[in-house]
Structure 1
Amino acid sequence: MTREDRASLLRGRDRECAELQTLVADVGAGCGQALVLRGEAGIGKSALLDFVGECAGSAGFRIAQVAGVQSDMELAFAGLHQLCAPLLDHMTELPEPQREALAVAFGRGVGPAPDRFLVGLAVLSLLATAAEEQPVLCIVDDAQWLDQVSVQTLGFVARRLLAEPVGVVFAVRDGGPAVLTGLTELRLDGLSDSDARALLDAVVLGRLDERVRDRIVAETRGNPLAVLEVPRNFSPAELAGGFGNAGARPSAGQVEESFVRRIRLLPTDTQLLVLTAAAEPVGDTALFQRAAGHLGIPVEALGPAEAAGVIEFGSRMRFHHPLVRSAAYAAADLVDRRAIHRALAEATDRQSDPDRRAWHAANATAGTDDAVAAQLEASAGRAQSRGGVAAAAAFLERAAVLTADPGLRGARAIAAARAKRDAAASEAAYELLALAELGPLSALQRAQVARLRAQIDFVRCRGGDPAAPRLSEVAARLRAAAEQLDGLDRDLARETYLESLAAAMYAGRLGAPEALANTAAAALAAVHRDPDLQRPIDVLLGGMATRITGGPGCGAELLGAALATMCAQLDGCDGQPPRWMSLGLAIVQESAAGELWDDAVMNRMAAGLVRAARAAGALAALPPALAYHAGVHVLAGELSTAATLLEEADAITAATGYTPVRYHSLTIAAWRGDAAEALGLIAGATADAAARGEGRLLGLTGYASAVLYNGLGRYEEAFDCAREACEFEDLGFYSWTLYEMIEAAVHTGRRDIAARGVRRFERRVGASPSGWARGAVASAQALVADNEHAEALFGAAIDHFVDSGVNVHLARIELSYGEWLRRVNRRGDARQQLTTAAERFAKMGANAFAERARRELVAVGAKVRRRPLRSGDALTAQEGQIARLAADGLTNHEIGAQLFLSTHTVEWHLRKVFVKLGISSRRQLRTATWAH
């Protein structure tokens, strides 16, 4: 594309150019920015990228850029490596874990596969470090054709920019990668009719019939590149007389076709060279020349393509427009494509770039080729070691297709399906499993196929895929797979039984009757067949299956042993989290700790999971770990901290595309007592649960509703919600719901129902020796006790809760005690308890319960000034999190590594923290008054 063409494509884009100039100015002032230019092919995205690059260049920026290429989409980190190449001289300045992760990802070092978002943190640090010398602008064209791991990583980086003089501008076609959704977008539509007419007049020589001009403007729909192609597709006579073929208009989706026609007019040898350049994504002139030599075509044959404005041949091959590259590939037939890929494979060095060589060789192959399949399998291993799951899946998929031996093809297809599952490519995984089943499979392989299918469907179902089967069906299929594996691979069988238990627990009341009990019985039988349990997940399986089949109190010893061992493993892991973290056991672990009423284990487990996930950069495991930790903070009455953790989890799931966490956001909203917010969340969760068949989520909405309504003093509604939720035993929080029903029953005069509920509560909770459990039992007993015994029970409950640190329940029992004291007309004592409860609730941000306590205080004659209640303090959630870590003695580098922020962003937040708290040093954070 000529400079004049680029200038023409900017016609009518004054608003867009102004926004890009503002972006450059903001980045230059130290405010990180990310922007997605989105629109159809030919709409002018590349021209705007050129414009912003020129603006940044003239402002003294350092420019890093990459353009996605279709033929390079399966090579892990290929696009990211190309973008970062000009900045790699700063790698030595990165913290060691980040430096090592980036080196492994880019093939410059060896080591265990890094999590791709630890690589993302390294890229963020690399950009921030480079920006200390001069502002940096990253330009990413055709992002829809970047390899998956590169675009995911860049999407993650773009969301973390804040206080760095770094900008990232993406150009992406409509329907591009979902990971960029949510970033600031600049939507490019067609030019206005007046601008399109002016552009057409500027590029067409001679007089243009006004009716023909209006037709062309209408047909091109203001697509600038389509308008520019008009004089290249129609003669002046056709344009003047209106005799062009209206059906062949070069608009929108047909813009590439105009380039295809232009390329097909070139000499045959020239077309082959253009195709070679299109299939070689890096633009390496030396490699291109070697490939031309293998084709037996002199490089000079490229001349007609240069003259036609298709390509530039210089120190690096450059097409005049990104669409020309894809058009060149589309213009070739399959035989020619295979020929140029063969030439590129022969020209690519097998030592320095074996993966791209193998990929070209695969694209050159018709039929099967075991040698090439073996090369692809080796490439998959290297991609896996760099953390390129999507690339490994692509290599294995192609290897399976090229494998002649049916048995080996089946094994490779299963491995490829597993990698596709890990890369969230479920449809491709299904196809590979079908390919595997076409050949002879062993009994173990058939069981592995069954398990993979069920695992994929489980993820799809929990992710909200409307076409996915319901959870009850998935749970049954996981159990069937576990039974197939039993006797073939007992370790794998027990893992699958645990997965089937988790799925059945999620299905809950919407699953088949007795499904959970039957699954637990089958799992317990498998455990008893091999009672010498070594792994903590085996002990966890035995304990949970025993609890489900035996009832409250059963399996407690096994559950406690499993959780203790897991905590010890988390405490001792050094950058490599235990394998069981990848199995998605949060529901089982949380339920086990909840059934034990062991807040100490919950605290240790939650902190260990977050610490291990952060240390390893394991962003797949981090959101559920953060949610688990948020639940612990809710029990401690630290609602603001819990919300901060969930905000971080939401940010990570938005950047990664993982299934968002839902459960603990409901409980936080319920405890805060904002009816509008909480009921909106509850209604949404109820609809989601019904659609997915996730009965456990329905149970949780009942618990959350009961907490909300008890806080608001709407006891009839609280009773109805809790009673309905208690119709099914959701392990982990069923007893909590039962307590809500007991309290609501007492307030609505249903004392017989409350008494029966207390007896059930005693049977369920009384076996636990923890202070939390003892306090909970004493609380429930106090609610229904006569006046002679109530006071002693209230006092015992308070003592136990003070020792345990479960502050939400401490405040609840203080409130209930104060209400009882008011009823027995001990107004002074009631005032003391109610004041303590009101202050405790207000500090937590549990506004509805605080207002309930305030009303009781008014009833005992206390002068209480109504004041707006608010959770937290003047610090934002993220400022509070950073302040806590700094107060604990972490450096800015360490805080950034934990929170996946750059050091600049941490410094920027800390400066604001110091101003808000009126302090000047990190040491003062330890004594400053703020919500720790």
Structure 2
Amino acid sequence: MIIDRLTERAALDDLLEAARGGESRVLVLRGAAGIGKTALIQYAETAATGLRILRTVGIESEMELAFAALHQLVLPLLDRMAGLPVPRREALEIVFRMREGAAPDPFLVGLAVLDLLSDASEHGPMLCVVDDAQWLDRASAQVLGFVARRLLAESIVLLFAARVPGPELRGLPELEVAGLRDADAHALLGSVTHAPLDRGIRDRIIAETHGNPLALIELPRGLTATRMAGGLGLLTADTLPGQIEESFLGRVRELPAPARLLLLVAAAEPVGDPDLVRRAAARLGVPLTTGGADGLLTIDHRVTFRHPLVRSAVYRSATPADRRAVHLALAEVTDRETAPDRRAWHLAAAATGPDEEVAAELERSAGRAQARGGVAAAAAFLQRAVALTAETPRRSDRMLAAAEASLRAGEFEDARRLVSALRARPLDAVQGGRAGVLDAQLTYASAGGPAAAIPLLLAAAGQFAKADPRLARQTFLHAWAMANLHADRDVLAMVSRAIRDTLPPGGTEPLELIVDAVSLMVTDGRAAAAGLLAEAAAAILDMPLAEVVGWGRVSTAAFVGIWDMEGLGTMAARQVRLVREAGALQSLPENLIALGHALLWAGDFEAAAATFEEGRTISEATRRTAPPPYIIMRLRALQGREAETTALVEQTLRASAASGVGTGLTAARWSAAILHNGLARYPEAVRYAREAEEKYDPWHSVWILPELIEAASRTGEEAVARDALDRLVETTAPFSGDFPAGLQARNEALLADGDEADRLYREAIDRLGRTRLRTELARAHLLYGEWLRRHRRRAEARQELRTAYEMFVAIGMDAFAERARRELLATGESVRKRTGDAAASGAELTAQERQIALLVRDGYSNPEVGERLFLSPRTVEWHLRKVFAKLGIDSRRRLRDVLPPSGLSG
């Protein structure tokens, strides 16, 4: 019977009613041990008439077994796996050990579970219960947190109960379960005590237990009437869970030795399998009976304790010898074929000292966990393997593996402890290099920033160079990428020289080519590196998935180095497709950034905004740091949205200065320069462009110099403009492509006179017109039209300015369009002010609705849209109905009319 809890029960009733009405709901019941969360879950299960119920429970001793709780929850649905898309079905089969394969991304598993639940809810609403969520294994918690944030229109209630929700569940709707009200607490206490209690004593008991129902029920058990009447003996432990545990322990201590040992076997066996408990108990000579267990243990189709605190109290109070004996017995009865990881864990708990055989078993378990994507479980197995490894060279390898797994799992303190211990050990070159890379990663992760991590990476690369040139190249490339992120020309030059001095040039693999090319570009200039950069760019277009995931983001340097923005778009689109198809979702945002920038060069603003939103959605779903706002900041600058651009610029400048990420400073000032050039505020554009150029490096010149030349030529700062033009020509001249040649001609024309200027403008328009880089072509038409008007060639000026104006409006570059309109007015032509269709279409849509609308417009089905945006097909359809209502249309085909494709979309 539940006393009170009217508010909580009403909230649960609302959740269930919403599911019956076709909507999903998520709730985390949060509260102390014994406060009544499990009772409320039982109430929900009883009230869930008409709903299918799925259930799982977090078990403290099972926290190191990846996906254990998730498997328990979805086991009744596994017969539906055949209907899942192949990558998701295979991901589930791998993590549940139904097949072998490479470790899937945990969020591909999340999508598979979302699909399973959504499909099952088609046949009726569901209640999914997760009790003791604070003890979920990390992999299960990650997936369930992901699913909880993506449910919307699936007729599912996902109900968690936790003492303190872990990071995977933070931010979900919560309901705190507090103690009973005084009147109800008095009634409950009176129902379980037989001795008359003084009112003051009762008040004190209720006040000090905070109305905790389990405390009120359990603490009085076994106390004499005198101790109850005097109020003594109730509050001997420091905390309320400790008090309740102490109460349970008092009852355990009074049991006969065989009953206590049986309780310990049940406490150490995480699955609740009565057959395993029976066989382990038999090995210890303990009869399988709960008659003498004082109601603390039930054994029927499953082994269950009266309360989880009974399990923890029994286990923690046992002697080390008894715990080892119980774990050894459980290991001996656990099947090495079907449950090798649980067997290894039991063997480890039974070990009394170094044991190479058990350590090797744990290492194999770590490999299996890693193959299933259970990084946290792999780290736990490896850390235990280290503890059981004698002082041999093998210990260093295991320490390194444990530190690497801990770092990937986000357990930074464990990784630091292991790396610190490694420093005192003799290491060979490869081991030293691995330790150095770990040190660099930990330094960067602990807010040390690129400047502190780069020397550590260089030292590690130097060690690798003695034994493994490929590892050396990978590490040097990461150091180069971090130096580029730092955006300091001296640091980038120092890293590039170290590469040239350490590694022999040559090689045809993509990794060899890109390392040679980018380092040579910095040390000797683009002209010297032109051939290598072109070779690297060609090789990157065929780069295998493993390298795309490992260092593919750095490969953009080759395309930017040769001014091939269209090639950048092709490369980025391929890498996004590969990463998405492989389900490597955590690598997707960085690849989307490259694609987004390429789409901006092409003037495809809708698609560029969609890449930014997709990257943000992925980061939100995977609980990772959101990608930097460089794409959306540059987009808003190109659109001429002053307030939004200014806010993003200021935010990025602050964040980048604090983190030491120089590319953020460059990107923010570059965007500001674009904005002010569009608004014809040339002094401000010069200021921002010159500030951006203070950290000039060979990669970012492609972005900064044209803005500086245009603005300085308008303010009469000819020396500044000519200096910038000289450096621009130095980087464009080695390449014959239409984009670098056209951009060079456009900027040379700004500083030329007479027929030469006319020729250069025409060449720029001709060259840029052969590309798909519409923003740059439109700006060439604008600059030529402005030049023609100033030279009183009004008829020709009108033609160029009208072309520029129409292009700007179509693209959505409203500030530049207004600049062209004012110039047209100055020629005597009347022109109506318009805004870009791309900016106006569907303006009422939310960011997510717009993403869905654009994907459906481009021909994607609901399941395919759901795969891209981590939503179930039912939720996509729910959003799509809202899109149709807002846009006043009634079919998917009509989306092409109201959101016409442009540029590279699709």
Match of 1:553 in 2: 527
Are the aligned partners of 2:572 and 2:594 in contact in 1 as well (CA < 8 Å)? yes
Whole-angstrom CA distance in 1 between matches of 2:194 and 2:537: 79
The residue that corresponds to 1:661 in the other structure is 627
Deviation at 1:600, TM superposition (A): 2.2
> In the aligned structure 2, how far is the partner of 1:740 from the partner of 1:866?
25
Which of 242, 248, 260 is 1:271 aligned to? 260
1:853-886, CA deviations, whole angstroms, 9 ceiling, x for partnerless residues?
4555566663535779873632554455445555
1:478 maps to what in 2? 457
Residues 550, 284 of structure 1: CA spacing in aligned structure 2 closer, same or farther, 3 A cutoff? same
Given residue 614 of structure 1, which amino acid in structure 2 is its aligned partner?
R
**Residues 1:543 and 2:510 are matched in the alignment:** no
What SS does the aligned partner of 2:839 have? coil
**1:774 to 2:741 alignment:** yes
Aligned ranges for residues 142-181 of structure 1 at < 5 Å? 142-174=132-164, 176-181=165-170
Q: Work out whether residues 79 and 146 of structure 1, in 8 Å CA contact, stay in contact via their aligned partners in 2.
A: yes
**Does the CA contact (< 8 Å) of 1:312 and 1:319 recur in 2?**
yes
Deviations 1:332-386 (A, max 9, x none): 3333222221121112111211111111111111111111112112222222222
Secondary structure, aligned partner of 2:159: strand
Q: Distance in 2 between matches of 1:264 and 1:656?
A: 46
1:81 aligns with 2:104: no
Aligned to 2:394: 408
Cα–Cα, structure 1 residues 842 and 868, in superposed 2: closer, same or farther, change >3 Å? closer
Alignment-derived partner of residue 491 in structure 1: 470
TM-score of the two chains, using structure 1 as the length reference = 0.89
Matched, 1:871 2:839: yes
Tell me which amino acid in the other structure corresponds to 1:432: L
Q: Does 1:443 align with 2:432?
A: no
Q: Which residue of 2 aligns with 1:287?
A: 276
Deviation of 1:400 (Å): 2.2
User: Is structure 2 residue 803 aligned with structure 1 residue 811?
Assistant: no
Matching residue's letter, 2:568: M
Shift of the 413–637 alpha-carbon distance from structure 1 to 2, 3 Å rule, reads: same
User: 2:484: which partner in 1?
Assistant: 505
Q: Is 1:678 matched up with 2:668?
A: no
Aligned partner (choices 53, 57, 63) of residue 67 of structure 1: 57
CA contact (8 A) 2:818 2:833 kept: no
Give the C-alpha shift of residue 602 in structure 1: 0.6
Matches within 5 A, 1:295-694: 295-300=284-289, 302-305=290-293, 307-308=294-295, 310-404=296-390, 406-436=392-422, 439-458=425-444, 460=445, 465-466=446-447, 469-509=448-488, 514-527=490-503, 529=504, 531=506, 533-569=507-543, 577=545, 579-586=546-553, 588-662=554-628, 663-694=630-661
Structure-2 separation of matches of 1:201 and 1:645: 63
Q: Tell me the SS of whatever aligns to 1:137.
A: strand
Which residue identity lines up with residue 401 of structure 2 in the other structure?
Answer: A
Is residue 375–residue 408 contact of structure 2 (8 Å, CA) maintained in 1?
Answer: yes
Distance change >3 Å, CA 212–CA 799, structure 1 → 2? farther
Residue from 887, 902, 905 that aligns with 2:875: 905
| Alpha-carbon distance in 1 for matches of 2:52, 2:791 | 76
Could you tell me which runs of 5 or more consecutive residues in structure 2 were left unpaired when the two chains were aligned: none
One-letter identity of the residue aligned with 2:474: E
Change in 2 beyond 3 A, CA 1:792/1:282? same
Contact map agreement 2:853 2:880 (CA 8 A) in 1 = yes
CA–CA separation in structure 2 for the residues paired with 1:828 and 1:472: 56
CA drift at 1:747: 3.4
Could you tell me which amino acid in structure 2 is paired with residue 137 of structure 1?
Answer: L
What's the CA shift string for 1:302-340, capped at 9, x where partnerless? 3343x34x3322211222333333333333333322222
Quickly say closer, same or farther: Cα 1:115–1:246, change in 2 above 3 A. closer
Q: Give 1:606 deviation, angstroms.
A: 0.8
Pair 1:96-2:86 in alignment: yes
Kindly state the Cα deviation for residue 225 of structure 1 after the two structures are TM-superposed: 4.0
SS of the aligned residue for 1:387 comes to coil
User: Which residue number corresponds to residue 28 of structure 2?
Assistant: 36
Q: SS where residue 808 of structure 1 aligns?
A: helix
Q: State the shift of 1:418 in Å.
A: 2.3
Q: CA RMSD in A?
A: 3.1
Partners of 2:429 and 2:723 in 1: how far apart?
52
- In 2, Cα distance between equivalents of 1:22 and 1:642: 40
Query: Are residues 715 and 266 of structure 1, via their aligned partners in 2, closer, same or farther at CA, if it must alter by over 3 Å?
Result: farther
Q: 1:825 to 1:187 in 2, by over 3 A?
A: farther
1:55 aligns with 2:47: yes
* Deviation for aligned residue 1:581: 2.4
Asked if structure 2 preserves the Cα contact closer than 8 Å seen for 1:644 and 1:878, the reply is no
What is aligned with 2:677? 710
Q: Deviations over 1:255-276 (max 9, x none)?
A: 5454444444444333332232
Q: 2:769 corresponds to which residue?
A: 802
Percent identity over paired residues: 45
Paired positions, count? 898
| Residue 752 (structure 1) aligns with | 719
Q: Kindly provide the CA deviation profile for residues 107-152 of structure 1, in whole angstroms up to 9, marking residues without a partner as x.
A: 1122333222222222122112222222222212222321211111
Distance 1:282 1:721, change over 3 A: same
Q: Secondary structure at the match of 2:162?
A: strand
- Between the aligned partners of 1:522 and 1:889, the Cα distance in structure 2 is 49
- Residue 89 of structure 1 aligns with an amino acid whose one-letter code is D
The AA in structure 2 aligned to 1:105 is: V
Cα offset for 1:292? 1.3
- The TM-score with structure 2 as length reference comes to 0.91
Q: Give the drift of 1:156.
A: 1.9
Query: How many angstroms apart in 2 are the aligned matches of 1:312 and 1:451?
Result: 51
- Equivalent AA in structure 2 for residue 873 of structure 1: S
Look up the SS of the partner of 1:554 in the other structure. helix
Moved more, 102-111 or 176-185: 176-185
Give the Cα separation in 1 of the matches to 2:659 and 2:427.
33
Task: Answer whether contact 2:366 2:379 (CA < 8 A) is retained.
Answer: yes
| CA deviation profile, 1:819-872 (whole Å, cap 9, x unmatched) | 445544556655555555455444444444445445555666635357798736
Letter in 2 for 1:82: Q
Q: Does 1:14 align with 2:2?
A: no
By how many angstroms is 1:472 displaced? Answer: 1.5
Shift of 1:660: 3.0
**What amino acid sits opposite 2:675 in the alignment?**
L
Contact 1:426 1:456 in 2 (8 A): yes
In 1, the alpha carbon distance for the partners of 2:792 and 2:177 equals: 71
Q: Residue 652 of structure 1 aligns to a residue in which SS?
A: helix
Q: 1:192 to 1:289 in 2, by over 3 A?
A: same
Gaps of 5+ in 1: 571-576
Q: What is the rounded CA distance, in whole Å, between the counterparts of 1:516 and 1:808 in structure 2?
A: 30
**Within 2, Cα distance between the matches of 1:930 and 1:163?**
28
Letter in 2 for 1:289: R
Partners in 2 of 1:84 and 1:94 — Cα distance? 14
